[in-house]
Structure formats: structure tokens, C-alpha cells
Chains A and B, each alone.
Chain A
Amino acid sequence: MSEVRLGVLALQGAFREHIAMLQRLNVEAAEVRLAGELDDLDGLIIPGGESTSMGLVAERWGLVEPLRQWVHGGRPTWGTCAGMILLAEHATGQKLGGQALIGGLDVTVNRNYFGRQVDSFEADLNVPALGDTPFHAVFIRAPAITAVAEDVETLATVAALGDETESVVTAVRKGPILATAFHPELTGDLRWHRFFVQIVSDFKSCSG
């Protein structure tokens, strides 16, 4: 793997946990609050938190457009939970008046698909991309992906609400863009972070 430098969007939410996970992998990670801090990064993580809070703070300091350029320019980006909502081209269940989205990932996200905090849950997911061992995922007031474009690869699913025979998508990848509805940064399992670092590293060596 070539040396990579990652940024974690630090406007609000669980950014410190992502940085701690990357440090455990000996990957350099920086907090990103202003547009200039995107320079010299090879990849970006948009963490969990409240997507409305992040969107409003990003707007205030002119960060939405640089983030759009970053993602639409094909730079490696991973959104977890709120980060996944911000990356989605379409979102349902938004606050009145909508919210600023970055877009770039052609999926439809339902913002609080799984409901309120009483419905938050943990579950083992089969994720072939990470190997045979199931991934123990933590879902907090979590969104789900209800529609994906053809060129978007589904990496994990979970039973749909009210119908165990149906499933909804909880993790996807499209080229250098990764999105998860759950929070790998709240677990001790480094596999998703290693997976993303590999994407960043591959992207850097083919574009570098």
C-alpha cells in the first residue's frame, strides 16, 4: 500500500472515533473544518452525526461547493450514517425545506428509515467484501438505501422493516465512493477502515 493521508470532516459528530481507528492502522488522519484543509488529502471520511447540523455549518463557511467538487471529481470518499445521507443524490424524510446535500452517489436514502432511538439496534451482517466473518454493526437512528442505480454495488443488507423476507441496503460502493448506514467507528473491528484505506491507496497509485 502506498502512503496515504486521510481527512475526516470535523464539523459535528463522531469524527474523533474515525481518526482513532485510522491511527490504529498507522494511517495519517487530519480534521477538516474549512475548504483549505481538503488540500493534500488522498481520501475523505464524512462521519456520523446530524446531517442537518453538518450541512448548515458547511454552508456557512463555503464548504459545500468544495466538497461537491471533491466527490464529483472522483476523489475517494466514505460516508457513514449522516455522511451517507450527505453523499446521496436523493433523500427522503428530510427536515422541512430540505437540506444541503453533497451528492455524487446515485442512490435514494431514507433519512431515519429505522425510526427513532428506541429502534436503534445492533446486528451481525454478512459482508462478502470483508470476508467470511460477519460484521457486527451498530445502527443509530439509522438511514437505509431504498433504491440504487445499476452501477452501484451493494455490499450489505439487513431485513426490511415489517417484512423479514425483504431486505434494505445498508452499505454500497461505487468506484472510489463508499457509504455505510451503520457505524464501524463505534466497534473494535478495523475491517471497513482497512477496506477504505485500500480504495484510497489503489486510487492514488493509479492516478499518481
Chain B
Amino acid sequence: MSTKNGQQRDGQVERGTFAVKAGLAQMLKGGVIMDVVTADQARIAEEAGACAVMALERVPADIRKDGGVARMSDPRLIKEIMTAVTIPVMAKVRIGHFVEAQILEALGVDYIDESEVLTPADESHHINKHSFTIPFVCGCRNLGEALRRIAEGAAMIRTKGEAGTGDVVEAVRHARNVNGAIRRISRMDADELFTYAKDIQAPYELVKETAEQNRLPVVNFAAGGVATPADAALMMQLGVDGVFVGSGIFKSDDPAKRAHAIVQAVTHFNDPHILAEVSENLGAPMVGINVTELSEAEKLAERGW
């Protein structure tokens, strides 16, 4: 069976089309995707109402602390997590590491995150995501980066934020960058759009489509630094479609309770009374690192091109 362009045909059935790749992301909207490192954590996340889990060996806070090269997880761990839950399972590969992606596709994970949280494997090329049946999510800091990833075949986008810090400031900056740019281009005329596409190094057709629709062509989640129900609701009110929570849950005092509260906060992001109720008595959040105390070299969001 041919896998060219991610399309497989048997009879009238088409698999791996962009519609089914982007479609799964649409089903995840209004939900919380949680980082988990064991099958037990995956079960806690499912019971708390996570719409998907991200299977990895170390949460970003530990990757930061331990240093060294961060790679794709052990397939055994990913398989255990896939068996433990019925919700979609995502897993991370290094930027540009298309063989790690081939391995995850062989395992049958539901989504691949080509992630700056792991150590990049290629300093100039991202994975050609069109050649896979499995959909990809990629990080971005601004509209140009988002549209470059979509051009490469990403079917879902997330803001990078600054993973493993528990500091939401970078996620806010990146969400405002993307959504502010979309608001500006939706008012531009055709002449201005050509120049703008060149300036942000993004394909003109995607810039035009984004301007016309007044939104990204794919679903956009927030990630990198979300630690509380209020953080999650803040990102939703800034216009993202859902939220990834990494270290914020399993590095806190009471993961099950905090996970549950963040799920409620994403559904009821516009209801301050409910937000007040779910924020109560959650125990200590992850300790966190102030992003302004990180050197440029320590910032994961700078990875990716």
C-alpha cells in the first residue's frame, strides 16, 4: 500500500488525508492534553477528563533539571500508556528526527509532537509531515512559524510558551503574537499581504487563507507554562482552542485534583464563579522558574526554525 502524501487507498476508503488529520485536532478542542510519564499517570489524567495524553519519559521540568540529550520515549512505555487509556495518545519526537516519527507511526500513536522540548536532531530542517499517515502538532512563537509548520504538513499548532517553568508569560506572548498578527492581516489588502508573507517567511497562499478566514487553518492550543486553572482560562480567553499542561499537573501537590480543576476551567473559561470554585484548595502548584531568570541558551522556545 502506498503511503505517498500520507494517502492510502483501499476501495473507496481514504486514510491519512489532511481532513482526518486536522479533524482529530478539532475533536480535541475545548480540552486539556496532559503530559504523563507512566500508565498510572495516564489513568489519573483520563479520570480527570483529559481529552488526550502526551506520553513521555520525563516532564519538561525534569528535562530542564537533568540536562543531557532528551529523546523520543521508550516504545515500551508508550505501548503501556496506549493500553491503559481509551483517549488519544500523543508522543514527542525531536525536531527533524523523521526516523523517531516513523517509529511512533509504527506503534500507532494518535498524534506526533515534533517538539522543541526534546533536543533538536536537525538544525535547519523540520520533518516533512506530509509523508506520514499520523498527524503532527508543532510549536510556534508567531504567525510565520505557525504557517511554516502547516506548510510542512502540521495538522495542529500549539504555542511554544516556555515548557517546564510553570511561568505562563511566554505562552501569553506567543498566543498574543499569533492572534494579533491574524487580526492585522485580516484588514490588509492584497498588495500588503504579499509583502507581509515575505516578511514573516510564510507561504503566501497560507497567509491569504488565514487572512480570509480570520483564523489559523488548523486548531491552535496553548502550551508551555500553564500551571493553574486560571492560567488555562486565561489562554482560552486569549483565543486558543485548548490547552496542553506539561509539568504543571504531575509536579504539583495533588495531581488528580489539579488536573480535574484545569479540565473544568477550560470548559467554563468564561465563568469567573466556576473558576473561583475550581481554583479552591488545590494544594501547592509546581514551584516554577521565573522565565526572566533563564539565559537565552536555557530557553527551549528558541529551538525550531
Contacts and interface: CB of A to CB of B under 8 A. Distances in A.
Contact of B24 (A82, A96, A140): A140
Interface string B133-171: 111000000000000000000000000000000000000
A140 B14 contact: no
A94 to B, nearest CB: 7
The 3 closest A-B pairs by CB, nearest first: A56-B49, A117-B110, A120-B20
A121 B31 contact: no
B88 interface: yes
Interface in A142-184: 159, 164, 183
Given A57-B267, A95-B86, A123-B14, A49 B134 contact: no
A149 B260 CA distance: 36
A96 B263 CA distance: 19
Interface of A: 10-17, 33, 48-50, 52-53, 56-57, 60-61, 81-82, 93-97, 111-112, 116-124, 138-141, 159, 164, 183, 186
Contact of B20 (A60, A82, A122, A124): A122
Contacts of B85: 95
A119 B29 contact: no
Given A11-B267, A96-B43, A57 B15 contact: no
A50 B268 contact: no
Nearest to B241: A16
28 contacts: A12-B31, A12-B267, A13-B27, A13-B28, A33-B268, A48-B26, A50-B31, A50-B88, A53-B31, A56-B260, A57-B264, A57-B267, A95-B85, A96-B43, A97-B47, A116-B108, A116-B110, A117-B20, A117-B110, A118-B16, A118-B134, A120-B15, A122-B13, A122-B14, A140-B24, A141-B27, A141-B88, A183-B23
B79 to A, nearest CB: 12
Given A116-B108, A183-B23, A49 B267 contact: no
Contact of A123 (B12, B28, B134, B264): B12
Contact of A117 (B11, B30, B88): B88
B105 A118 contact: yes
Given A53-B263, A57-B49, A121 B14 contact: yes
A151 B173 CA distance: 55
A50 B23 contact: no
B30 A10 contact: yes
A15 B110 CA distance: 21
B49 A140 contact: no
Interface in B31-90: 31, 43, 46-52, 85-88
A49 B24 contact: no
Which of A52, A53, A61, A93 has the most chain B CB atoms inside 10 A of its CB? A53
A50 B105 contact: no
Nearest to B85: A95
B111 interface: yes
B186 interface: no
B103 to A, nearest CB: 14
A18 to B, nearest CB: 11
A141 to B, nearest CB: 7
B172 to A, nearest CB: 23
B17 interface: yes
Contacts of B274: 61
A15 to B, nearest CB: 7
A82 B15 contact: no
A33 B267 contact: yes
B135 A117 contact: yes
Interface string B250-280: 0000000000100110111001001000000
B11 A159 contact: yes
Contacts of B12: 123-124
Which of A13, A15, A61 has the most chain B CB atoms inside 10 A of its CB? A13
Contacts of A95: 46, 85-87
Given A53-B51, A93-B86, A140-B27, 9 more contacts: A13-B28, A15-B30, A95-B46, A111-B86, A112-B86, A119-B15, A120-B23, A121-B20, A140-B24
B190 interface: no
B19 interface: yes
Nearest to B106: A118
Nearest to A95: B86
A60 B274 CA distance: 11
A186 B29 contact: no
A10 to B, nearest CB: 7
Contacts of A117: 20, 24, 88, 108-111, 134-135
